[in-house]
Amino acid sequence: MLENLSAATDIRKVSILDRKIILDQKGGVSPSHAFLPSRLSKDLQAPLSYYGLKKIYQKWRREGWKPECVLVYNTHPVWNAFVRFLSRHDPEIKRILILLDSNQFSQKTGLLKRIRYRLKPFHWSDEAMLSQFHGIASASFSSKAYCEEHQIPWHWFPGGIQGDGLLERVSKPQAAGPVKLGYFGSHSDYAGLKQLLEAFLQVKDPKLKLSIAGEGAKTEELKKLSSSDERVEWVGFFKEREDLGHWASQCHVLVNPRPAGYGNENNFPSKMFDYVQFGRPIISSQTETLKHAFGDTPIWYNAQDKMGLVNLLSNIEIMDIEELIKKHSIISKNIIQTYCWTETVKDLKMWIDKVNAA
């Protein structure tokens, strides 16, 4: 996003740098990119990072640099505090939230939760923070009605398709043998891998195979769940994108099993942009946002129906997988052109210009 915005915009960036990340110093660090090291836990580090950010910004202002707008990438305690500082000290500078993605959005915060928030440094509820912005670009449609109700300019911005070596070493699925379903991504509850496993294990079709990449806190627990079924394989985490692409391209069908709840209606799974690049049929739970982005391209199921995914997997045998792969290879090319970073950021930039001019 920043690479494409920087082509026509003077951008100064500040990032919170997790202590586990090691910067690549070979090419040096841009003087317009400042880092706030995170040495402590999120809550303990927040005050230090906030004062560091404010110090950097005030130095830039003393040197005569004044931004037209400040883009905030998602909500975070440090950014929340800084946005509130800007609203008091530089109120004429537009404040724009990019990629609102919150499992609390559109939910009324209860009294006890609001009290807990106030006991933590720089924590404010979504409803308290969103009114601080002059514009909100969100990956999900769930925020649109709120913004319209409060007269905050809104823009749909799902991000963009990230090639980044994913297709450098692609292969083809085996023509003979079982239909291979593939999943990669988080193994956390919100991602729905457990629901996918449970549905798959109920379908006793020997002509189906499930291959799972990635890792997470739930990996070992989920491995035990599937340990008695030889049709399930665990391939681990791929460090290189080209290795991930090589494995995924050998799958006949890719699955995005996000369950209902967990705030999944408020986000956009980036794995769908990865999936679509392989030109394979995609099975996915349906949300308003995903339906808008991909139309009837994926094979949808209702995540609120407990048997929805089970019934769909039971019917894979009667699908013409080879024909579906041919069809999706053609469709995916159009989707890739529509959601490449150049196009999505061009639309975002035009919208930001409108917010600035208002």
Starting at the earlier edge strand, list the strands of the sheet with 154-156: 69-73, 94-100, 135-138, 154-156
Q: What's the confidence (pLDDT) of residue 25?
A: 45
The CA–CA distances, whole Å, from 297 to 98, 285, 310 equal: 27, 13, 20
Contact 73, 51 (CB under 8 A): no
Q: What's the confidence (pLDDT) of residue 130?
A: 85
Residue whose tokens read 């749909």: 156
Q: What's the confidence (pLDDT) of residue 87?
A: 95
Q: For CATH 3.40.50.2000, list the domain ranges present in the chain.
A: 179-338
One digit per residue, the tens of pLDDT, for the chain of length 358 reads 888 887 778 888 888 776 555 444 444 445 567 777 777 776 778 888 899 999 999 999 999 999 999 999 887 888 999 999 999 999 999 999 997 666 566 556 677 766 766 667 777 777 778 889 999 999 888 888 888 988 999 999 998 998 788 999 999 998 888 999 999 999 999 999 999 999 999 999 999 999 999 999 899 999 999 999 999 999 999 999 999 999 999 999 999 999 988 778 878 898 999 999 999 999 999 999 999 999 999 999 999 998 999 999 999 878 888 888 888 888 888 899 999 999 999 999 999 999 999 9
Specify the CATH number of the domain 179-338: 3.40.50.2000
- Record the tokens describing residue 340, joined without a space: 């490449």
With residue 352 as reference, give the H or E element that holds it: helix 341-357
pTM for this predicted structure: 0.84
Contact 182, 247 (CB under 8 A): yes
**CB count, 10 Å around CB of 153?**
18
N-terminal to C-terminal alpha carbon distance within the chain: 23
Q: What's the confidence (pLDDT) of residue 102?
A: 63
